[in-house]
A and B are shown apart, each in its own frame.
Chain A
Amino acid sequence: MTLLLDIVTTAAILFIVSAGLLAIFGVLEIVNFAHGAWLTVGAYCAVVTGGLGLNPWLALPLAFVAGAVLGGVTERLIVRPLYARPLDAILATWGLGIVIGQLITLWFGRDVQFTENLLSGTIHVLGISYSLYRIFALAAALVIGLGFAFLLEGTRLGLSARAIIMNEPLARALGLDTTRIRLFTFMIGTGLTALAGVLLTPLTSVDPTMGVSWLIGSFMLVMVAGSSFGALAIACLVFGGAQVLVSTFISPILGGITVAVLSALVLRISSKGFARA
């Protein structure tokens, strides 16, 4: 039973962390390698919220706004000229990630920062006591997933975004302001990533390099998932599940590389990954 909960909550956390990256990759076909840095920015929003003595939950909206605003500036100044050159965009965002990490180091120092826990303690589910926060993370992942489904399927912005995914020149010819839609999508992606950074704080230490260890995992998951949130959810469940199983029954050291190895294998067998699902 613990194993089952470990699997779904691990998948939920992976989903939360990768959702922002997928939003940007799915619509804009840009791999945002500054993803880890946005996670870090979000976590430091939690540090700032705590430093101001505010309710720790306020860090969530604060991080979303901060991430979106900074993302907007980034899109305008760095990413926009590079949409036609995805490889250069990887380099540019990778560099941006390093710059953001260094700025955070300058401002807050290298030390590990302390944040107040959003939720602590355990809860009785299915006959065992389990971390309350991980159960909450599961709920948060569902909210984010359903929220995105609604955004894409139920709103004007989502409709336009899907039009851009399918055929951008045609969408533009039909009068859609694709530049603005790209900007909004990028902002939502970075805002969501910063939000994920806050959600990570009860699980990891907060320091200037904290995002890096999550970057590769989310990158792999997004490569496998393509542009579909459903596929991302499946990828998180399958790979997160495999990670927990390998960690539990073989070795946690091998568990740490499960996601990367399985993603590479899946992409080798089928270049579309889970996107067809």
Chain B
Amino acid sequence: MKLPSLIATVTSVMLAGAAFAAEDPIRIGVPVGLSGANSVVAPSVVQSAELAVEEINAAGGVLGRPLELVIADDASGAAGAQKAFDSLVFQKEVDVLISMETSAARNAGLPIVSRGRVPYIYTSFYEGRSCNPYLFVDAWVPEQQVPPIVDYLNAEGAKKYFLIGSDYAFGRGMLDFARSYVESTGGEIVGEEYLPMDGTDWTAIISKLKASGAEAMITSTAGGAPNVTLTKQLRGAGVDLPYANLAVDEGTAKSMGADAAGILISASYVTGIDSAENKAFLDAMKAKFGDELRTPNDLSVPQYEAVYLYKAAVEKAGSTDAKAVLDVLPEVSFTGPRGTIQMSKQHHAPLTMYLGQVQEDGSVVVVETFKDVDPGEQCPKL
């Protein structure tokens, strides 16, 4: 999204607030990667937060007060996140932080959240086990994403797996979990290889893959460029093994065209979910943003739902007091595009996972649905 239209939307939200007879707005801080690695996905996240706020305000706000978004660029990294969190928590004095960010940005922001005592709902899928009394997560962790894929491949008869990833926390974390899950279900890992995040030459890894006798491969690269590069080179080398990709989203799959055909993805949201809530959400997004609409995805929809979860918690607590809201956050639920979400499991949420397969035309067809997959033991001490 372009900056002027962003400012315009934030202003319009504030104008809408004027209807609330000068009630103080409830401020939602959104630190998000408008620049840097997350800049491709960040606009869709901001859009879905804007829709949630607009809908809630149109219906009378929360405890009679309007919601107001305060958006800050975290530059997708630790240094930017420190500035963004500092300014949101201590200068703008927001009541809550709701954001989709990189793990580096989240980790840099958490100490500031603890110091400022603000509830923080993290809406990005991640490698798991980030625990803090102020932190709640409504997106998936490896325990929820990997098993559907491996179970499906096992059922297809695959026993030997080859793992390929980008060399960073998320890439390695996902594949570490994939390795242990494959081995626990009787499969065998015949190779595990990584390339640096900015690496472009997968030649040697692909040759190893072809020589390994693998029957299926699971990849977890950084999103965007490395994903596309690896897939192109795999297809160029004539690799047509069952191919599960832990890091590709619907939009990227679409832009890859025929090269992406056959790729298996596992997500808590795909646009094709057949429910009234999802249809209503997609229609409302289209109506609000028109040509500017960024396709809703597995990172932007949890953001939308998190705003509603916060609303439910404030209403149940009867105030925006951090302690009171944190106490009731695990108890409230919201039924949105992904189904009914409740962050009841050690600050994480059981989620329905969808196993999709990319078609020749780039669309994603749901092959199998896994109901209420448990996030497992994420934060036993909370």
Contacts and interface: CB of A to CB of B under 8 A. Distances in A.
Interface of A: 2-3, 6, 9-10, 13, 110-114, 117, 120-122, 129-134, 202-205, 207, 209-210, 212-214, 243-244, 247-248, 252-253, 255-256
A114 B237 contact: no
Interface in B231-255: 232-233, 235-238, 252, 255
A38 B75 CA distance: 26
Contacts of A210: 225
Given A112-B255, A248-B207, A214 B224 contact: no
A89 B144 CA distance: 53
Given A133-B236, A202-B232, A243 B201 contact: yes
A114 B167 CA distance: 25
Contacts of A10: 201, 203
Interface of chain B, helix or strand or loop or mixed? helix
Given A202-B236, A205-B228, A252 B200 contact: no
Contacts of B237: 122, 130-131, 134
B40 A255 contact: no
A253 B236 contact: no
B204 A248 contact: yes
A213 B226 CA distance: 11
Interface residues of B, number: 36
6 tightest A-B contacts by CB? A247-B204, A205-B228, A122-B238, A205-B225, A131-B236, A248-B204
Interface in B274-327: none
B229 A204 contact: yes
A173 B224 CA distance: 54
Contacts of A129: 238
Interface in B187-213: 193-196, 198-205, 207-208, 210-211
B39 interface: yes
5 contacts: A2-B211, A3-B207, A114-B255, A203-B233, A244-B203
Contacts of A247: 201, 203-205
A114 B87 CA distance: 38
Interface of B: 39-40, 167, 193-196, 198-205, 207-208, 210-211, 224-229, 232-233, 235-238, 252, 255-257, 259
A203 B232 contact: yes
B203 A253 contact: no
A256 B233 CA distance: 16
A244 B203 CA distance: 8
Nearest to A7: B203
A275 to B, nearest CB: 25
Nearest to A257: B196
A253 B196 contact: yes
Nearest to B294: A111
